[in-house]
Structure 1
Amino acid sequence: MRLRLKILLLAILPVLVALAATTWSMARQGMALAREQQTIVEQAWLSSKESELQHYVRLAYSVIEPLARRDDEQARIQALDLLARMDFGPDGYFFVYDEQGVNLMHPRQPELVGQNLFDFQDDSGQKPIRLLLEVAREGGRNGKPVRYLWPKPSAGGQVAEKLGFVASLEAWGWMFGTGIYLDDVEVALAQVDATAQDSIHAMQRQAIAIACLAILLVTGCALALNISDHRHADARLRQLARKVVYSQEEERARLSRELHDGLSQMLVSVKLMVETAQDSLARHQQVCLAPGHSLDEPLARALERLHQSLAELRRMSHNLRPALLDDLGLPAALRHLAAECSPEGENPAALQVNVSESGQAVPLPEAYATTLFRVAQEGLTNIVRHARATRASLILRYAPDGVELVIQDNGTGFCGGASESEGGIGLRNMRERVEMLGGRLRLDDAQAHGALLRAWLPLPARSPDFSSTVSA
């Protein structure tokens, strides 16, 4: 695993651990708060309902108490009728029982009227009517709350827990009261709990979003740092490549000087000595040699070989570092290169190379002149060896923002028709040289119309050169 990836993981893992711990803590605390809130809401709800039911019972008592003073059957009937009409909602009603548990009035379940429910048992085995009577006797006229199970009319008779409030009317021996079913309270509490759960989940989502944002920020910073490091590495690599190229050019120049000033002079001296020996032998060969023998032919061949060696040595020295490039500049070096690029052998005039310039000429830094010369050298070499062209042109174009070298021929295509993506070492070397200076190399290759090679280099306010690169 790479060091940068390890550092990135070390930065992200604590965030993930903190996220997990925070989320778990928030969920735990949220659930505890939700349960506490539910308990508080339930107690407050039941307390308010008890107060409400007590208010209803006192209101009913105040309505029927004047009738209880008359103590006649008509007053009882009128009191039952008033209680039957006092309801609040589908499951809010009053009921009346006597002390023996006989139902005297029930507006939602009229079939119970007249039945003795004193010993009636619910599903849990409890006797609700007996419980109501006991609580009513304890509460008296002020009443008292009680919980019990009873069928819910709006639910089709399904048994549900009910919170009742009952009171006793001692004058007639009645127990009357009302109540609410607690499943409605449970629904309300469930809504409160759902709201609390939604709030907890929203907080968790916010925490996850913040953690994801932090992870993205850390990752982005790591990527930015990585990109910055890559850019610095690329810049250093380009600088190193420039130093290598400059060193190569310096070595070429040194070898060229040594070949020209050392070996070339020695070969010239040898040639002069051979020529002197040839002249001397020509004057005295009658004396020194037997009749029919002559040294003219071997010496002539030796002189020819020395002449060829000198020409090859000059060519190698010029290719290593053309003196014209340093003395007269790039245009002169290109014209000299065009004059020497024709194939050697049977048809020296097989390729005609035309050199031209356009735009306002400006002095080029050593790095630019050397790079364009090497591109022209490699391009013409490929044309001579592979393109089978009869004409080629070198165009040096100056522009305010750069300089461009265009190489065009009428042959079969660059490197025998190879495309740019399939180019050999020569094309890659040209591209690397040009891109080192921030330029670009483009090849338009068409076998029917030859090849067009463009090398463009930018000219900044302060153009880079190899010497400044090395000194840096």
Structure 2
Amino acid sequence: MKLRQKILLLAVAPLAVAMLGIALAVRFQATQLAQHERALVEAAYLQSKETELRHYVELAQSAIAPLVRSGRTDAATRQAAMEALARLDYGPDGYFFLYDLHGRNLMHPRQPELVGQDLWTLRDPQGALTIQQLIAAAKGGGGAVRYLWRKPSSQQLAPKLGYVVAVPEWGWMVGTGIYLDDVESTLRQLDARAETDIRQTMAWIGVIAGISILLVAASGLALNVSEHREADAKLRQLAQRVVQSQEEERARLSRELHDGISQLLVSVKLVLETATNRLRLAPAEGAAVAPVLGMALNRLDTVFNEVRRVARNLRPALLDDLGLYAALQHLAREMQGGSGLEIAVTQSGTPRELPDEQATALFRIAQEALTNVERHAGARRVVVALAFDADATRLTVRDDGHGFDVARMQEDPQRGIGLRNLRERIAALCGQFDIVSGMGGTQLVASLPLARPAAIAHDPVSAGPSPS
């Protein structure tokens, strides 16, 4: 996976995780809210129904109150009370029932087959003792009881809320109830509506998350395309700079070979031709030819020195023979003699062997930095410091020139190519490159990490001599 893809994934993944967390939290909170709302609705509904049932029971009590207060307990009086209760109904499933306090059914207008049966031990499908619960509530002063009972209109078991009171004068329990299957249906509709709302909310969160991820991906793609274009532009500039540098180096070598070595060789050739002509014209006058041959030898020495100078500029032999520190000292002496700069080279730490690529990179950086100081800095003094730290080899070039704007130089595509080349050279070796510049001068620091032992050349003198 490419770096840009990893960065895009790191941007999208936390967003997706955050949106998922938000969705789960919203769903949890919405579910809790729906359950709380359901409980409130159910409690309010049951409370209203309980109040309504209590009023119905009070109405039934008032209907038989005259008979009860009459003091008569004969069968005819009780039968009249039962008939009065049987006539009180409110809908197909709204009726009053009557039991004695021992669980025997005395009156049931919708299920007459129960009349006379002892239902004390009657249990519902869940195992609850239905009649005993009703009688216990009645003896306790009256109250509501929830239980299961067969609904007369549908002959199906349905949840029911009953309200009962006792008639202690006659040992009766009078009650009525309302079936809650309609309530359960209403609550199920409420649950379904809440679930629909939750799904719609989750869908909106999903849409928002999808749009957000698409926007992040589109932004990353746009940034990727922009970076690709910028990288391509920099690569083209770098390629042009490499080609230009090659052509400049070739032109410089051509000039030096033509203007220096070639002219000297032509001069030597002319001197040797003169000596040859003298010997041919006057073979006996060998003494007169000796000064001419000496001049030719001197000029050949000059040619050899020029060849060595050109070779050192291409790659200093001292870098391979005596190491980086000696090569830096030699470079400083050459530039100091030709530019008038005061260049000091120092070394600190315990010298160690450096791989060839590291030594070459640090030398080229020092060479480029000194060339830039000579051309642009207007400095009088330069310090080149080579430090062998415990974990890295560090090269510092510091001058007292007028400095420049580093950020502006790096942003300008037409300038600062040399600095970018130095930075990329160090980055290729996993090192660090830093440059700070201001009115007091410029400081360039290049640091390369310790190389693996297998990468170090076994040259006992490659680190160079210690400073005296």
Q: One fold, TM greater than 0.5? A: no
TM normalised by structure 2 equals 0.45
TM normalised by structure 1 equals 0.44
Computing the radius of gyration from Cα coordinates, the structure with the larger value is 1
